[in-house]
Structure formats: C-alpha cells, structure tokens
Structure 1
C-alpha cells in the first residue's frame, strides 16, 4: 500500500479517533476528580454544599461521556472501541505506577495518539501479568504459597498473555514505533517500569496475588487485532510496521523475574543491619525465583513484528498438559 493510501486511511478515521479521544478524556477526568474528593469545592455555602458541587461535577462529566458514546454508536463506531476508550481513561488515572505514555513519545495524529495510549495500557497489563507469574513462581519455590490454581486457569492465563502481546505488536506496527521508542517502551530503558511492578506486587499478600492472577486468567476475551487499527484489506495486517517488535513472552517473564530479584536486594540494602546478612539472605531468597521464571513457560519465540499469521489469535488449549508453566497446581 502506498504512502498516499496509508494517509487516506488515517484521515478517513480521524472523526472516529476524535470521538474516542474525547471519551478517553472525559473518563479520565471523571476518575481523577472522583479520586480527589470534594475538598476545594465551594458549593452553595451550606455544610453539604462542597460535596454536592463535587457530585454535580461528576454527574455532568458522566452525562457528557454517555452522550458522546451514544453519538459514536449511532455513527457506527464498534461497541468494543467505545468500551476500550472508556477503560483507557480509567486506567491512565488508576495505574499510577507507570505513566500511560513516556513523556518523550507522542504522535501528531489523533488516531495514532489514541493507539499509542492503548498500546501503553496493554503493555502495562502484559508486564503486570509477567510479574504476577514471577512472584507466584518465587513464592512456590520458597515455600510461601498455599493457594492452588486449576490447570485450566493456568492455560487461560498463558493464552491471555499471548493475546495481549499480539495486540501490542499490532498497535506498535500501526503507529510505526521507532527503534528509539522501543527502547523506552520495552527495551533496556524500561527498567524503571519493571521496578514499579515489582514494588506493587511485593505488597500483595497471597490472597491478593491469587485474586489478581484469576482476574487476568478469567478476563473476557480480547481481540488479537483491535478493530480500530487500519489494516490492509487483502492481508488483514496493519498498513505499516514498527522498526522494532516487542520481545517474546519468554523475555517478559525473564525481565519480571530479574526485576523481582533486584527488588529483594534493594529492600535488603535499604533495611540492612550493616553486617551484610540481610543482603545475603535476600540474594539467597531471590535465587529460586530466578530459576523458576520462564524456562518452563511454553510460549512462542517469534520476535518479528508481523501479525499476518496471528490475526485470528492463538487458540486456547483444549486441555492442560502440565508443561505450560511447569508449576504444580
């Protein structure tokens, strides 16, 4: 497809992207203001005035968003796209452990800016799933895990990780992620993001970790190719390609395990008693986690950016063979 065809494809979807971005921003504003509470609102001078003014503001934002969603549906925008836009506004305000998009990555087109933000949300969730797996593997290896997960749950979790990576690949292709941007998003420069995930998961008790795992395993199926990505009518692939693809799942799992081990050492250094014993204990505790990372996770090792062969997405396993994660259930 020529550069002119690509430009025309983006321009034809500009109105759609503009609508979706407005939904994103209204959802984000509603979430941010709801979290802030009613302090700072003047109200009508009565005791309950500030709270009422705050609630009125929230209702106004919600009504405006719902009206835009109605307009979008009547204009033929897919319901999945609208739900994704609403969720993006929620996620960008709630996932405080990581900025939705690194400050020095942006796009001029409203459509591509929307895809960049959606990519970052899927990437955050993919990283978090990898960290959940690393934390669970470490706790099993060190005798700190008692919750059983059924084989089907483990298989679904793996499948959903693969689908999320496929989505990230597709969106990276669509916005033509450069090599430099890839370094920030999933390369060596993403170390800070992994550290944030490790700190977050470290605070989970066993029940919370198991609940988070189950939430991701039981999540409604995602489309491997998001419907708002401009694609070639003949191949179904994105019109453009990224300069560097996201790594395979195996590398996400390895990075998560390394970040978790580094966090153990960081805590020991910060909380050590000066004789080095806490550091030694932390390193020893980290070793089983390193050994229980991705080598038993049966995943694709494809590192290309092409999504042509995965448009339909990986099929969920008919039954669990016991080798996907290599973890006792």
Structure 2
C-alpha cells in the first residue's frame, strides 16, 4: 500500500470518527432534552403547594405548555435548518431549553412557569429537524439507519435517566428547607433541582458550536440557473389550497355551516364545494377543477384558555389536466382582542 492510499485511509477513519462523534453529541443532547422535559413530573406536590396550583393548572404546565410549542415550532425551525447553519441552530436550541429549565426554578406563579415550560418546548423543537438533516449529509444510505437509531436511543435513555437523576437530586435535597444562592437569595429544594438538571445542558450547547461544523448539503435539486431550487414557506403551508384565481377562470362556491353550541359549546363545522372552469391548462386545453372541504373548529370555553382554538381542514382537489391531491391540516390558533 503506497503513501497516498494510507493518507486517504487515515482521512476516511478520521471522517468516520467525527461523524459518529456528532451522532453521540446529538444523542447526549436528546438525553438532556428528555431529562429537562420530565423533571417537572417528579416535583408535583412541592410546586403545587408553593405556587398554589390546581391539578388542572399543573396538567397544563406538564402537557400543553411544552407539547403545543414543541409541535408547532418544529416546522419553522426545520425551515431555518434548511437555510442556515444547523450546528448553530442546535446549539442555540440546547442553550435556550437549558436556561428555560433553570428559569423554571425562579418561577413565582403559574404564568411564569408556563412561559418557562413553553421556552423549553421551543428550544427542544430545534434539535431533531437539524440533527436528521445533518445525518443525511454525513452518512451513506447503508449507515444512515444506524446513525438515526443511535440518536433515537437518547429518547429512551433520557426518559429513564430523568427519573433516576431527578429522584437522586430530590432525595439529596430532602429535608433542606432553604438554600442560599448568591445573587438569587434563598431558594427551595425543588427550585435548586431545576438548576441542577438544566444548567449542565449548556455545556453540550457550547460543544456543538465549538466542535461541530455544518456538513456540505447533498442531494439538492438545482434550477436552470444552477442554484438550489428552494420551496417557499408559503408553498409548504399552502393556506389557500388551490386558489381558483387563474386567468379567465369562472368559479362557483357552495357552503354550509352549523354551530353545535347547544350540544358542544365552541364547536362548529362547515362543508364547502368549489367548481372552477373555462381556464387553460399548461398544454393549452380547456380545464376545470373542483375542491371540497370539511372544516371543524373548536374554541376552548375555559377562562384560562380564552382565545385558544383548534381547527381541522380536510381538502380534496381534483383537476381534469393536472395533479389531484388530498390533505389533512391541523391548526392551533390564538386570538387576542386589544
């Protein structure tokens, strides 16, 4: 074996070792994310007692505050991951959710704790979209599944470690009424627990930004100018479905709505049918199209969820010359009157 082949082999080994280092770092971040999201469940009684929370309020803190924003922020953060540095996005996300976890320990009431849990969800939403994107650029198809599998282990390890570490910290602080912390004053044991599990995550965030480089993107489709063919965000969301505003098109709309206020307050439904015709297809022939929708809306009636509403839309689109499609869309809306 000549010197050039030896050099290539060494470079390849270093590249492979670095790629698995990134996967391991992502897995560690995933573990920390599960610890930070689950720690709240171990301290139900002391938090309820100190902040005077009801069972409903605590369930909102543990569930809605985190999961709602964790789910909703995934799409815009994935959009950012497609266009900007993925290691920086992951690093910022880790630092945000780690600081937000620590901030939970400074909360004095339901609103402050809700906002902190919301920030935890937003920060954690940055990890998976960027991590999966990097893996696809760093590994060949025969190794990609293994990389994703190792990363996914973090979810199960984190779920278990959350209770082990959380339980250990709580037991360690058991019997301690107040602890004096410089600049923060006297803090209770459950508040210290948030700092203990939250702040170490910042180290992982710093390691990401200092040691991980954004890999070259592969498999991108280029346009006629040789540039990456990007899909606009509005095209992904496609809020207006098919539009029916083509040149010379005539369209007819039929709608029927029903309010279930006498049975389920806040629930209403609508069905809609649209027919459009007399417009030209790409091949020059006359075309026509139809779209049918089923729309369900539910506005929460509870005072503490005032302004929050859920929406489901089913879309079925058919066109004579073109592509048919069907979609299910789910939305979470918030309305505030000023």
Higher-Rg structure is 2
Task: State the TM-score, normalized to the length of structure 1.
Answer: 0.29
Q: By percentage of residues, which structure has more strand?
A: 2
Q: Report which structure shows greater RCO (CA 8 Å, sep ≥6).
A: 1
Task: State the TM-score, normalized to the length of structure 2.
Answer: 0.28
